[in-house]
Chain A
Amino acid sequence: MLDTSRVQKELAEGNRDTETSGVSIALHDGADLTHLSGTITGPVGTPYEGGVFVIDIRLPSGYPFEPPKMQFVTRVWHPNISSQNGAICLDILKDQWSPALTLKTALLSLQALLSAPAPDDPQDAVVAQQYLRDYQKFVGTARHWTETFAKSASVGMDEKVKKLVEMGFPEDAVRAVLEATKGDENMALEKLCSG
């Protein structure tokens, strides 16, 4: 049985200092305590700086005695994160998990992982190879991916597009307007209605 009271406390506690910690946790769709969504900001001085990375969090019924399942939703170029599906290679999400760790400490560990890749124990062999053989190129690709997928304008872009398309606007127009408003849904809606 999932310890719901602990999860609720974690949600409250986890968001207390979002500004300084750079991590936040929220319910994914309002009611289901087993499906959460976390965000981390890219660490300063890394190719991920300026990006906001969304992480899908699933809690097994044995949580916190079993580790949470975490996966990057935002695409990221990093040796320990799959560039294909966002799967993460990190010991504390596997055998080094401890029930005394929390979702917040796990997200902070992911943030630390962005700062300190471990290419010798890779999740994505292609990225790891590039990291070891051509570091400059790696930094370039990682920065480009951050710009493309993790900047505020692009965060949740697909969901915003979907929402507006469902309201009856053509997808091409929606994408163009969202781009112009840097992802601001309300401004985009206004423009679409007025124009």
Chain B
Amino acid sequence: MADDVDSPSSSEVEGTEDRYFYLSDQEDDIAENVLQDLEDGQQEDCSWSVSSVITKESLLAAQKVDLRKVMELLALSEHNARTLLIHYRWDVERVFELLEQKGKDRLFSEAGLTIVENKMIDLSSCCDPFTCSICFEEVSPTAVTEMDCGHYYCNECWTEHFIVKINDGQSRRIRCMAPKCNAICDEAIVRSLVSTRHPDIADRFERFLLESYIEDNNKVKWCPSVPHCGNAIRVVGDIYCELECICGKQFCFSCLSEAHSPCSCIMWERWKKKCHDESETVN
């Protein structure tokens, strides 16, 4: 058994799924970008990939950097940029790649982004009371909100809808209320309507949006320290690497267990299971 675990040479590892010694050509470029993006993050240079710590305080800033890139390139509002990035798992490079391959329209529609250039009706100019098709109540046009997709309902109904979705843990993608409409609701509208009635739920919404940057992101993970130090780690390059958080926790980015090089994640897991099973039989 020990043979399986004891240090394999690099030639043995090559060609397997565990690419420990992989070196990217563009590593220097990537490293530079990261340094620019995350001036406040501490840099940790593994020999095959680059990682940086995102502290609680810099989480918002790190997210904003990615949002801004997409907002600028595609001339999008923050909310639409976020919808796009959540869908594409915060992979800005991938968004740009897909923009080349598929074009703007498909990129947007696949992420549930609908931008209506000409709105169906001008709510502010019509003065008749309007009947909301959800609560069936007559409401003044000033108490009605229209989403980007062109669907409009009364503010009371929108608020209720948002609260149900936030409580249900679906903050990242609150869909429009219209049947079969896949448009994602504008976060600025969600924020303003919910906060007037339930500031506590609005806070929760904000927190969910922030955490999406880590949880919907393949290249960023929470530090596995217990109790949690509050930091996240971002890796550029190979995700099979070992690193150390500023809290002192050393771990494998891929499987989040303690550092186990040169053993692969799968082998490490088997080894741990074997040790566990053996200690069970001894007892």
Contact = CB atoms under 8 A, between A and B. Distances in A.
A101 B136 CA distance: 12
Interface string B157-181: 1001100100000000000011111
B126 interface: no
Nearest to A97: B179
B137 interface: yes
Give the interface SS of chain A, mostly helix, strand, loop or mixed.
loop
A107 to B, nearest CB: 15
A149 B179 CA distance: 33
Given A62-B164, A65-B160, A65-B164, A100 B134 contact: yes
A100 B160 CA distance: 13
B147 to A, nearest CB: 13
B23 interface: no
Among A3, A62, A100, which residue has the most Cβ atoms of chain B within 10 A?
A100
B133 interface: yes
Given A98-B179, A98-B180, A100-B179, A65 B136 contact: no
Contacts of B160: 62, 65, 99
A5 interface: yes
B75 interface: no
B188 interface: no
Contacts of B134: 6, 64, 99-100
A100 B180 CA distance: 10
Nearest to B135: A6
A66 interface: yes
A66 B134 CA distance: 12
Given A62-B164, A65-B164, A9 B136 contact: yes
Given A65-B161, A65-B164, A99-B161, A5 B179 contact: no
Contact of B157 (A9, A92, A99): A99
Contacts of A9: 136
A9 B137 CA distance: 10
Interface string A12-37: 00000000000000000000000000
Interface residues of A toward B: which range? 10 to 19
A65 B167 CA distance: 12
Interface in B123-143: 133-137
Given A3-B135, A5-B136, A5-B137, A98 B164 contact: no
B133 A100 contact: yes
A100 to B, nearest CB: 6
A98 B185 CA distance: 14
Contacts of A64: 134
Please indicate which of the listed interface residues B136, B164, B178 has the most CB atoms of chain A within 10 Å of its own CB: B136
A101 B160 CA distance: 15
A21 B172 CA distance: 38
A98 B177 contact: yes
B200 to A, nearest CB: 18
Contacts of A3: 135
B135 A101 contact: no
A48 B15 CA distance: 60
A98 B135 contact: no
Given A3-B135, A98-B177, 15 more contacts: A5-B135, A5-B137, A10-B136, A64-B134, A65-B160, A98-B178, A98-B179, A98-B181, A99-B134, A99-B157, A99-B160, A100-B134, A100-B177, A100-B179, A101-B179
23 contacts: A3-B135, A5-B135, A5-B136, A6-B134, A10-B136, A62-B160, A65-B157, A65-B160, A65-B161, A65-B164, A66-B164, A92-B179, A96-B180, A98-B177, A98-B178, A98-B180, A98-B181, A99-B134, A99-B160, A99-B161, A99-B177, A100-B153, A100-B178
Interface of A: 3, 5-6, 9-10, 62, 64-66, 92, 96, 98-101
Which 3 A-B pairs have CB atoms at the shortest separation, nearest pair first? A98-B179, A65-B164, A9-B136
